Structure 1
Amino acid sequence: MPKPRKKALELAKRHHVTIRYNINTFQDFTFEPNTFDAIAFIYAHIHKSLRRNLHRKYVNALKPGGKIVLEAFSKEQLGNNSGGPNSLEMLYSKEELLTDFESLDINKAQSLEVSLSEGEHHKGQANIIRIVAQKPGN
């Protein structure tokens, strides 16, 4: 069992919660409607040609009251040496993401400049976007 999966399952057990830990590509994931309480996109950069459709499929997979949590590099990151894709088609703007998640109630939508210190390739000033949004219902 991969180390991160084992750690996640142990933490879930310790905190008396159930998680389903899957590793898939975006394209291969089965999007069952109203299945998930939360979906996190943490530096999951999807090419512009696929992004909107995939984000909407994930929204459909949320249960009513379920949340999307997203943190990713913004288009302003291009040219920084602190990580992230080197292509505008793989970076996001807050406006694009708000359009992708327009059917959700937006709890937080921020464009920020932060200082990263997360290993050799993610160090220095970075431009990111943080979004927390909730599917209406419950």
Structure 2
Amino acid sequence: MNAWDQRFKTAEYVYGEQPNAFIEDYVHYLKDYPNVAAYAEGEGRNAVFLALQGHTVTAFDYAESGLEKTDQLAKKHNVTVNTKLTDLLQDELPVEMFDAAIMVFGHFPAEQQQEVFKRIVDSVKSGGRIMMEFYSIYQLPYDSGGPKQLDFLYDPLNVLKWCQPYKIIHFLTGEQVRNEGILHNGLAHTIQLIIEKS
């Protein structure tokens, strides 16, 4: 059992049952992209939200307990979410299979972040869209959630560089208020991106 598996073994949804505010505010960018992958999806709040918008959604996470809660949340809302137990650092991901992909606050060591980003982009078809929100390296002094190690935060300049080969629809870094369950609360420093694969 890993730390995330342990974290999600609660009746309560530690990040809440509502979608991430960035995904909710910008979901219209996925309107014509029916088949969506949700990576590092945790307890399923974003995947269920997308399913409620009519998308076919596959949630990937490496916490079995998180995927179980995704199933429960989907049932509660009368939608279906496909779940796949996947370690994004180790396991093979599909290639050019999805119309779009999202990842919200996927925490990975700095030296592996770009590889995970690339594999997620690779899983999306040409012309597809990718939406992500991360905690930036400037999040450390904030007391609103996210990793307490600099190595698990994202450098906005690096992320911008990874986006360069693609069409950048939206790129923002700065302060955001995040109220998501008991673990993300208050003012935070994040990076948001929406890119389109050519």
Give the TM-score, by structure 1 length: 0.82
Residue from 69, 73, 93 that aligns with 1:3: 69
- CA drift of 1:81 comes to 0.7
In percent, how many aligned pairs have the same letter? 25
Corresponding residue for residue 26 of structure 1: 88
Q: Secondary structure at the match of 1:32?
A: coil
Unaligned 5+ residue runs, structure 2?
A: 1-66
Q: Secondary structure at the match of 1:22?
A: strand
Q: Is it true that 1:131 corresponds to 2:131 in the alignment?
A: no
In 1, distance between residues paired with 2:121 and 2:113? Answer: 12
In 1, distance between residues paired with 2:192 and 2:160? Answer: 11
- 1:92-131 equivalent positions in 2, closer than 5 A: 92-131=154-193
* Count of paired positions: 130
Unaligned 5+ residue runs, structure 1?
A: 13-18
What is the root-mean-square deviation of aligned Cα atoms in Å? 2.0
In 2, distance between residues paired with 1:77 and 1:44? Answer: 14
- Give the ranges of 4+ consecutive aligned residues of structure 1 lying more than 3 Å apart after TM superposition: 6-10
Corresponding residue for residue 151 of structure 2: 89
CA contact (8 A) 1:35 1:61 kept: yes
Which stretch of structure 1 is more off in the superposition, 103-112 or 3-12? Answer: 3-12
Equivalent position amino acid for 2:106 in 1: A
Q: Secondary structure at the match of 2:79?
A: helix
- The one-character-per-residue Cα deviations of 1:13-40 (angstroms, maximum 9, x if unpaired) are xxxxxx6432311123322321111111
Cα distance 1:61–1:119, how it changes in 2: closer, same or farther (>3 A)? Answer: closer
Corresponding residue for residue 123 of structure 2: 61
- CA drift of 1:75 comes to 1.0
Give the TM-score, by structure 2 length: 0.59
Which stretch of structure 1 is more off in the superposition, 19-28 or 101-110? Answer: 19-28
- CA drift of 1:7 comes to 3.6
